[in-house]
Amino acid sequence: MLTDSECREATCPPDKARARLTDASGLYLEVSPAGSKRWFWKTYADGKEGRLALGSYPKLTLKAARKARDAAKLQKSEGVDPVQLRKVEKLKATRTGGDTFKAVALDWYGKQSSQWSASHAERSLRQLERDLFPWIGERLMVEIHPMELLAALQKVEERGAIETADRVLMLARQVWDYWLPTAQVQQRNITEGLKGRLTPYRGKTFAAILDPVRMGGLMRAIKGYKGGPIVRTALQLTPLLYQRPGNLRMMEWAELDLDGALWTIPSMKMKRTKLEKEQGEAHTVPLPTQAVALLRSIHPLTGHGRYVFPGERSHDRPVSDNSVRSALYALGFGKEQSWHGFRASARTMLVDELDIDYNVIEANLAHAVKDANGRSYNRTQYVKQRFVMIQQWADYLDKLATGGDVIQFKAA
């Protein structure tokens, strides 16, 4: 931990952009070559590192900086992202007042974002700031014409961001829905009908190989991958487990029970709403013998740290989300098979080639499975079936890799 004298005497070498002096629990003092000193608190949201500026030293003393850090930690423990909260507060300070689009949007955002994941909250605020506020932010809600909003959306399309334009329109629609019940005038939601004026967005599709013979070629290429052991193991595990890329790259040793052949992903790491993350069950992933063997083989290399697949520059962070993607391109399959696309590949072939029950497949993908009355099944009721399925799937991939029969491999 830092002392007052260390803070006073801290300097930054002239050949460096900055120097960091670490205290504890994410608090650090950043020193510039010019001699300025600022306190920051390092925090993580959805696996991504962020930082909160606390103040300048010596105006903010070491003792006061620790108190500010503790206050930010308390906010986060209560479900409030202090970094996002600071951004919203800064934006509110710049608004002109009245029912301008910016004022209403920030009020709506402040009430809704506490229920979202940190990544969704950050993306939504960024889209408001970049794509709507510059064009209609200071305009009064009652004065904004549909064509003004359409013009802002078309600017998004002009840079090729078709999906983003669709998302921004959805944000605008929700802002108007929030404002209209308390508006002093009778007015319709001006976003109505604008979707038809935008380039159709048909949803994101991930490149995925669905042909067993071609999948066999990919599996042979993966087995022959000559890259480093960390990326190679992640690449080899990807088709076996077919979980979301973010979950795989952030896999932690503490989540694994290799003797029990089970990977337990905490609810907070899953793709869910904020409330579902906090109250939902962990997602359990059975491990086939091939996956257990791969994990045991890499344990001597990374088992001393937190992540199974740590990054090259820092073992305190997981491997880059470009790691497996780049490996697939290096193997010549990047355009045919995306990292995320292994989920579609497995889903299709488990049904078409192995005749596995749909509900068992969906449960292993962490998709919500509902009965005829629309009630969600308890995923735990499929655990035994998923253990059988995942081993059968891994054996099937091995068979494809050897060029074996791709048809006669049906479930018993």
Q: What residues pair up with 283 in beta bridges, in sequence order?
A: 265
Could you read off the pLDDT of 173-210 as tens digits, one per residue?
999 999 988 887 777 899 988 988 998 876 667 889 99
The predicted pLDDT at position 46 comes to 63
pLDDT at 128 (0 to 100)? 95
CATH code where residue 325 lies: 1.10.443.10
What average pLDDT does the segment 215-237 reach?
A: 95
Q: Looking at the structure, tell me whether residues 334 and 220 fall in a common domain.
A: yes
pLDDT of residue 203: 63
Q: Please name the residue that has the structure tokens 């932690």.
A: 252
- 122 shares its domain with 145: yes
Alpha helices in 242-340 (DSSP H): 245-249, 274-279, 289-302, 323-330
Predicted confidence (pLDDT) at residue 110 exceeds the cutoff of 60: yes
The pLDDT-based confidence of 312 (bands split at 50, 70, 90) is confident
pLDDT: is 75 or 354 the higher one? 354
pLDDT value of position 387: 95
Per the domain annotation, does 411 fall within a domain? no
Q: In terms of domains, do 227 and 266 share one?
A: yes
Question: Do 222 and 352 reside in the same domain of the chain?
Answer: yes
The verdict on residue 112 lying in a domain is yes
**pLDDT exceeds 60 at position 144:** yes
Write down which residue in 197, 225, 260 finishes a domain: 197
The domain boundary, picked from 43, 58, 78, lies at: 78
Q: Is the pLDDT of residue 404 over 70?
A: no
pLDDT at 345: 93
pLDDT at res. 240: 97
Note whether 386 and 286 are within 8 A (CB). yes
Whole-prediction pTM: 0.56
Last residue of a domain, one of 78, 100, 118: 78
| Inside any domain, residue 203 | no
CATH code for the domain in which residue 34 is found? 3.30.160.390
- pLDDT for res 191: 93
Phi (first) and psi of residue 258, to 5 degrees: -70, -35
406 lies in some domain: no
Answer yes or no: is pLDDT of 410 > 50. Answer: no
pLDDT at 411: 44
Average pLDDT for residues 390-408, to the nearest whole number? 83
Average pLDDT for 241-257: 94
3-state secondary structure of 23: coil
pLDDT (0 to 100) of residue 88? 67
Residue 171's SS3 state is helix
Same domain flag for 122 and 252: no
Residue 320 pLDDT exceeds 60: yes
Report the chain's mean pLDDT, rounded to a whole number: 86
pLDDT digits (tens, 9 = 90+) for 18-45: 898 999 989 999 999 888 999 999 887 7
Do 50 and 159 share a structural domain? no
Closest CA to 144 of 99, 177, 96: 99
Residue 302 covered by a domain: yes
* 246 and 395 together in one domain: yes
- The larger pLDDT score, comparing residue 160 to residue 255, is at 255
What's the pLDDT score for residue 1? 87
For 229, the domain range is: 212-401
Query: Does one domain contain both 261 and 381?
Result: yes
In a domain, 202, yes or no: no
Domain assignment present for residue 372? The answer is yes
Report how far residue 291's alpha carbon sits from residue 237's, in angstroms, rounded to the nearest whole number: 6
Separation CA 76–CA 81 (nearest Å): 5
Helix boundaries (H) for 224-340:
229-241, 245-249, 274-279, 289-302, 323-330
Q: Looking at the structure, tell me whether residues 29 and 168 fall in a common domain.
A: no
Please tell me the least confidently modeled range out of 4-18, 37-51, 93-107: 93-107
CATH number for the domain spanning 118: value is: 1.10.150.130
Confidence of residue 272 (pLDDT cuts 50, 70, 90): confident
> Which whole number is the average pLDDT over 402-409?
58
Strand order in the sheet with 262-265: 256-257, 262-265, 283-286
The tokens 């697939």 sit on which residue? 328
User: Has residue 351 been placed in a domain?
Assistant: yes
Give the C-alpha separation, 393 to 240, whole Å: 7
In this predicted structure, what is the pLDDT of residue 115? 75
Chain segment 31-81, per-residue pLDDT in tens? 998 889 999 998 877 667 788 888 899 988 999 899 889 888 887 876 777
One domain for residues 235 and 276: yes
CB 302 within 8 A of CB 295: no
What mean pLDDT do residues 329-336 have?
Answer: 92
Q: Are 296 and 310 found together in one domain?
A: yes
DSSP 99-131: SBHHHHHHHHHHHHGGGS-HHHHHHHHHHIIII
Number of domains in the chain: 3
Residues 91, 56 share a domain = no
